[in-house]
Amino acid sequence: MLLAIDAGNTNVVFAIYEGDQQRGLWRTATDKKRTADEYMVWVTHLMSLKGLGPADIDSAIIASVVPGATFNLKRLCKDHFGCEPLVVGQPEVDLGTRALVDRPDEVGADRLVNTVAAAATYKTPLIVIDFGTATTFDVVDRDGNYRGGVIAPGLNLSLEALQMAASKLPRVEIQQPGHVIGTNTVECMQSGVFWGYVGLIEGLVNRIRAEYGEPMTVVATGGLGVLFAKATHVIEHTDGELTLRGLLLIHKRNTAQ
C-alpha cells in the first residue's frame, strides 16, 4: 500500500491507498518540531482503527511546502515504514509536467501536484484555485504544464490579520451571509470577508482568462472550495482531494504501476 503525505503550512494530510482505493485519510496540524516518532504514534493509532498496520505500507510519497517538517516526514517513512519516500521536487522524481516559469525551482510542490491531477481530470487549459493558508490561482496550459499564477492571502489569514489589527472586532465564523449590507458588526465582518473574497475570485479569474486569451476550466480545491463554489458561477468544479490524487498519479508514473 502507498502512504501519501501532503504537508501544507496549516495541516499535514496522510492518506493510504491500495491501488486506486483510498483506505484511510487523516490530518494533523503542521508542527515543524513534531518528530518522526510522534508522527508514528499518532498515525499508527489511526491506522489501527481501519485494520491497518505499518507492515501494510510498502511505498510512500511526500509533497511538502514546509522544509522544517520534510526531514521528520522522510524519517517517518524510512525508520518506521521501511521505505524510501519519493519527494516531489527532487530531480529524480518525474512529475509528467513542466513548470514553464522564470524560476521553476521556486514553485511549491503542492501547486505542481495539483497541476498533474487537474490536467489528468479536467479539460485544459484550466485555472486551479487552492483555498489554503494562501489562496493560489494556478494556470495549466493545454499540454498540462504549469504556466504561473497568483498568490493571495488566505481567507483565515486575512480574517486573523483584521482581528489582530482592530482590537474591538470580534472573532467571527466564516460563512455566507444572507445580505451584503450588514446591520451589526458580525454581519459586516462576515460580508466583507465572504463577499470580498467572491469579488477577488471572480476578478482574478476573469483577468486571468482575458490575459491568457482562451476559455479556461476553473477547478477549486481546499477546505473552503465548496463554500465559495456555491456563491459564484466562475468555479465550475470542486475537488477536495486533488492534491492527494496528484500524489497517487506521480507515484504510479515513477514506479511504472
Q: 150 and 41 in one domain?
A: no
Residue 100 contacts by C-beta under 8 Å, 6 or more apart in sequence?
Answer: 141, 145, 146, 147, 148
| 127-136 average pLDDT score | 93
Domain that holds residue 18: 2-87
Asked if residue 92 belongs to a domain, the reply is no
Asked if residue 254 belongs to a domain, the reply is no
* Global confidence as pTM: 0.90
Residue 9 marked as a ligand binder: yes
Which band of pLDDT confidence, cut at 50, 70 and 90, is reported for residue 172? confident
Asked if residue 120 belongs to a domain, the reply is yes
Task: Copy the grid coordinates of residue 36.
Answer: 518522526
- Region at 175 (left for phi over 0; alpha for psi -120 to 50; beta for the rest): beta
**Catalytic machinery residues:** 110
Q: Which of 91-95, 159-163, 194-198 has the lowest mean pLDDT?
A: 159-163
Q: 214 and 155 in one domain?
A: yes
Contact predicate 78/233, CB 8 Å: no
Q: 174 and 148 in one domain?
A: yes
Q: 115 and 42 in one domain?
A: no
Asked if residue 39 belongs to a domain, the reply is yes
Q: How many Cβ atoms from other residues are within 10 Å of residue 30's Cβ?
A: 19
pLDDT tens by residue, 64-103: 999 999 999 999 999 999 999 999 999 999 999 999 999 9
Residue 37 marked as a ligand binder: no
Last residue of a domain, one of 38, 57, 87: 87
Q: 197 and 114 in one domain?
A: yes
Query: Which pLDDT score is estimated for 155?
Result: 85
Asked if residue 256 belongs to a domain, the reply is no
pLDDT tens by residue, 3-38: 999 999 989 999 999 999 999 999 999 999 999 999
**How far apart, in whole angstroms, are the C-alpha atoms of residue 10 and residue 30?**
5
Query: Which pLDDT score is estimated for 171?
Result: 79
Asked if residue 94 belongs to a domain, the reply is no
Residue 13 marked as a ligand binder: yes
Q: 195 and 135 in one domain?
A: yes
Last residue of a domain, one of 54, 87, 120: 87
Q: 127 and 32 in one domain?
A: no
Residue 8 marked as a ligand binder: yes
Query: Which pLDDT score is estimated for 257?
Result: 54
Q: 111 and 66 in one domain?
A: no
The CATH code of the domain that includes 12 is 3.30.420.40
